[in-house]
Chain A
Amino acid sequence: MLAWGRTMLTMVTASAIFLRWIPEHGPLVLPLFAVSAAAAAAIYFTQRVRYRRGVRGITAGQLAPDIAAVLWTASSCVVLGALGLWVVLA
């Protein structure tokens, strides 16, 4: 739960750093900011469900892995990196 919260804060910080790029690269940076902010918002809005699921899983002694959350988090980082490369090399 806290690990997800820390990751969300890191994404918010990264999105703020992306905004610092606007004077150099203009609106090309906005997709970077949008992806990062959307990922942070998705983590924030699923925290309650995630916590409840974890508590019930520990109580039941069985917890199915949250593979979708892992895959979309990693995918959003890969997309952020690809967009960053596009902005740098454009």
Chain B
Amino acid sequence: MTVPANPPDPSPGPAPDPGPALDPDPVRRSRIAERLLPGGAEPDPRFTLANERTFLAWIRTSLALLAGGIAVEAFTSDVFLEPVRRGLSVLLLLLGMVLSAGAAVRWLRVEGSLRTNRPLPLPLIAPLLAAGCAVAAAVVIAVVVLA
């Protein structure tokens, strides 16, 4: 039996690279976070990330409404009269603005509830979105039926 000339080194080797010095500390809270989310303790990171994903889904809905408002104004000049077109566009743009602001408020409220182990707040922007879409659909149906 021959002994290998260079047996494997049993030592654990160099420590893994901790990453660039600019790496953000995932635990350190910013000043604005301490001001807007005082008290409590950091929740499970999966809950924080899930809350962020829900916020982003609302933001994408808001962006779709903004783009829809612009599309109604830009592409439907031969379908709707000017006042209807402008009214629908304003309605969709306002709904998009309110939803994006409401999404941020909801994110804050949910994060605060998670930090303090309180029940999650009801999503008030969901009925708002439903009502806004219902009004927009009703206007379109009325215009098409009356035309």
Contacts and interface: CB of A to CB of B under 8 A. Distances in A.
A53 B26 contact: yes
Interface in B55-93: 55-57, 59-60, 62-64, 66-67, 69-71, 73-75, 86, 89-90, 93
A10 B57 CA distance: 11
Contacts of A61: 44-45
A85 B75 CA distance: 16
B118 interface: no
A51 B13 CA distance: 27
Contact of A67 (B23, B36, B71): B36
A57 B44 CA distance: 10
A-side interface mostly: helix
B129 interface: no
Most buried by B among A56, A71, A75, A77: A77
Given A65-B48, A65-B111, A67-B36, A52 B19 contact: yes
A38 to B, nearest CB: 14
B72 to A, nearest CB: 10
A37 to B, nearest CB: 13
Interface residues of B, number: 53
B84 to A, nearest CB: 13
B57 to A, nearest CB: 7
Interface string A54-90: 1011101111111110110111011011101100110
B27 A57 contact: yes
A81 B67 CA distance: 9
A6 B22 CA distance: 26
Interface in B33-64: 33, 36-37, 42, 44-46, 48-49, 51-53, 55-57, 59-60, 62-64
Given A3-B53, A20-B75, A54-B45, 6 more contacts: A4-B56, A7-B56, A52-B19, A56-B23, A73-B104, A88-B90
Interface of B: 19, 22-30, 32-33, 36-37, 42, 44-46, 48-49, 51-53, 55-57, 59-60, 62-64, 66-67, 69-71, 73-75, 86, 89-90, 93-94, 96-97, 100-101, 103-104, 107-108, 111
